[in-house]
Structure 1
Amino acid sequence: MPENKSLVFDKNGKQLTEEEMQERIEVLRKLIQDDKHLQVRTDVNWLTRFLYPTKFEPEDAYKRMIDYYKLKAENPKFYFTESPNKMSHFLNTELKILLPDRDLNGRRVFITKMGEVPNNMSLTDLINMDDIWMEAVLDEPETQKNGLSSIIDLSKTPWAISKWLTPGNMRVGSKKADLVPFTDLQIHIVNTSPFLNAAIALIFPFLSTHTKEHIHFHYTDWPSLHKFVNPDILPKEYGGTQEIDHDAIREKYLYNNASTIVKNLSANYKLDL
């Protein structure tokens, strides 16, 4: 039976009351307000996105926030800061899409089809797309509590992306993945090949133990994937039943919320104060 995600426990396993949660929210808000380097929102939704992954420990959430935005300040090419409209030429492809429904544990489900990578796309462009989509859902309380299932489809992946697999790129990308404030990030790899298995072997040493533990290889075994993601919400190509309306989903989550996404993407850490 799935865990009751409406309950919140601290790192010692103690169930928190609403009052205790509010007290911890206020502690984190004060830590941020006293920090001249952090340029972030201090409303409840912003604070809880970092509190849920850290078991509502304010000091841990504060440290994670600093680490995340310091990484951004030191590696600006790995973070997007503009409107989704600036990326519409890539967003309007079938490369990445958010599913309307959630998986069996209430996680958002995000699909990346590497075979749809355009010839003129850079690694930075690909990362920028992820930033936009993530900011479209990170304010959702249910997403903050439950996390994200990322399905990465490697079918027809172009050989050209091998040039992206440099030690520097993989090191920063791995660290960013560890710090993105998802309570639970599950990664499902499907449609691999011998070439792609070799590429994955290059990437693995740069991944943290925590990330490795949350990667699942399904190849083309759809019943294996369905143990995590109900087929009723998946496209037919993954053994599901759904017809996905990409245009409607992009309009609802990206373009209708462009101003909020831009505001969220502007959060930063000032290194030169």
Structure 2
Amino acid sequence: MTLISLPPAVQQAMEKEMGRDRAGLTSDVANLRAWLRHQPHLPQDQSEEWLERFLIGCKYSVERAKTVLDMYYTVRGAVPEFFSDRDPLGADVLRSVSAVYYFPVPGYTPEGYRVSLSALADTDPSVFSPRDYMKRMFLVADVRLQEEPCLGEVLLFDLRGFTLQHLVKFTLPLAKKLLVCGQNALPTRIKQIHLLYAPSFADKILAIFKPYMKEKLAKRVYVHTGGSEGLAKFFSTDILPEEYGGSAGSRSELNLAWQKKLESYRDWILEEEKKRADESRRPGKTRLANELFGMEGSFKQLAID
């Protein structure tokens, strides 16, 4: 799976908007590197290109990048559900590939946003594991960060076949960890979330996730009772899979291509899994999981009528 590169004109427009150019970005990377040298609890072997992508995803803000970079490594120790046992050939990842289509499409929107699609490949609730699916989502995010900068994310969720039996598998602690990690521990900016073919209980889906969304993100959630026809006013659907009227290939082809990409990164993924914040060396107060996410025992599963 090859991702189409960010159009230079789009990145140049972003640099102009943020008041940064190549020289400014190089200076920002040096500043971020200097800050890292004073953070003994964090890994120190990031490439210049990786730090550049991190800064671009943080809107060229060095201070924002510091905060996100610290969280990026902190959650890797605090959330083993997502960031441990990450072998792309592991049973949990392979189960997810069979149960759920999940992939970024190759192309960009005109604004330079990357579109990712989630949909059930197998509608049997017994084979659906939110934990496996979320682990795979973060694997894909890490591989993308190795390959590309991204100015914004558009998330599509095709809810055909999604039932209350699927929904009750999302516990509130798991939902909170997903949103905290997705919003605070990755250099990404979610521009739109679209629920396609929304079922009658879409309000219950939102009731689980919206409490943990930042206010700005919560306003960017769009609910569609139909499919891709409702997306036309947001971006050209030509970049989508053929099942949605696009020309990017079929869902099964794209899903398999991304799994092959993860497998091609297997050695790197297994080595990278060892890199996380060393809380014993953190200057100041240690960051514990219950401080990041709240005590697990204080959450109850959402009641579904």
**What TM-score does the superposition give when structure 1 sets the normalisation length?**
0.84
Q: What letter matches 1:224 in structure 2?
A: G
Does 1:42 find its partner at 2:50? no
2 CA distance for matches of 1:198 and 1:38?
39
Which residue of structure 1 lines up, in the alignment, with residue 57 of structure 2? 53
Query: What secondary structure sits across from 1:181 in the alignment?
Result: coil
Indicate how the Cα distance of structure 1 residues 29 and 117 shifts in structure 2: closer, same or farther if over 3 A, else same.
Answer: farther
2:163 to 150, 158, 165: 158
Partners of 1:105 and 1:265 lie apart in 2 by: 33
Contact kept in structure 2, 1:235 and 1:241, CA below 8 Å: yes
Structure 1's 55 and 196: CA in aligned 2 closer, same or farther, altered over 3 A?
closer
Give the partner amino acid of 1:172. Answer: K
* Pair 266,188 (structure 1): closer, same or farther in 2 beyond 3 Å: farther
Which whole-Å CA distance do the structure 2 matches of 1:161 and 1:40 have between them?
A: 41
Q: What is residue 232 of structure 1 aligned with on the other side?
A: 238
Match of 1:267 in 2: 275
Aligned to 1:246: 254
Indicate the larger mover: 90-99 or 45-54.
90-99
**1:193: how far off?**
0.9
For structure 2, the 5+ residue unaligned runs are: 1-6, 282-305
- The Cα of 1:241 is off from its aligned counterpart by 4.3
Cα offset, 1:43, TM superposition: 0.9
User: Structure 1 residue 101 and structure 2 residue 107: aligned?
Assistant: yes
Say if 1:111 and 1:150, in contact at 8 Å, map to a contact too.
yes
The equivalent of 1:170 in structure 2 is 175
Question: 2 CA distance for matches of 1:63 and 1:22?
Answer: 19
- The answer on 1:139 being equivalent to 2:146 is yes
Residue 217 of structure 1: aligned partner: 223
Displacement of 1:18 after TM fit? 1.5
Match of 1:63 among 67, 71, 85: 67
Give 1:134 shift: 1.4
Q: Judge which range, 221-230 or 144-153, deviates more.
A: 221-230
Unaligned runs of 5+ in 1: none
CA distance in 2 between counterparts of 1:231 and 1:149 reads 12
**Percent of matched pairs sharing the same residue:** 19
Say whether the 8 Å CA contact 2:176–2:209 is kept in structure 1.
no
Does the 8 A contact of 1:41 with 1:267 survive in 2?
A: no
The superposition leaves residues 224-272 of structure 1 with CA deviations (integer Å, 9 ceiling, x where unpaired) of 3123342222223323345322366236522223233444444311112
Bigger shift: residues 146-155 or 178-187: 178-187
Change (3 A) 1:185 1:65: farther
What do residues 113-147 of structure 1 show as CA deviations (whole Å, max 9, x unaligned)?
14636623432211111012212212233xx2423
Quick one: distance in 2 between partners of 1:223 and 1:15?
A: 37
Q: More deviation in 255-264 or 145-154?
A: 255-264
Q: Deviations over 1:190-248 (max 9, x none)?
A: 11111233222332222211321332223315333123342222223323345322366
CA deviations on 1:155-213 (whole Å, 9 max, x unpaired) are 11132233333332222222112122114443221111112332223322222113213
Which residue does 1:125 correspond to in 2?
132
| Cα contact 1:170–1:203 (8 A) shared by 2 | yes
Judged with a 3 Å threshold, the aligned counterparts in structure 2 of structure 1 residues 54 and 134 are, in CA distance, closer, same or farther, namely closer
**C-alpha RMSD over aligned residues:** 2.8
- Equivalent pairs, count: 268
TM-score where L is the length of structure 2: 0.76
More deviation, 125-134/105-114:
105-114
Provide the rounded CA distance (Å) in 1 between the counterparts of 2:249 and 2:192. Answer: 23
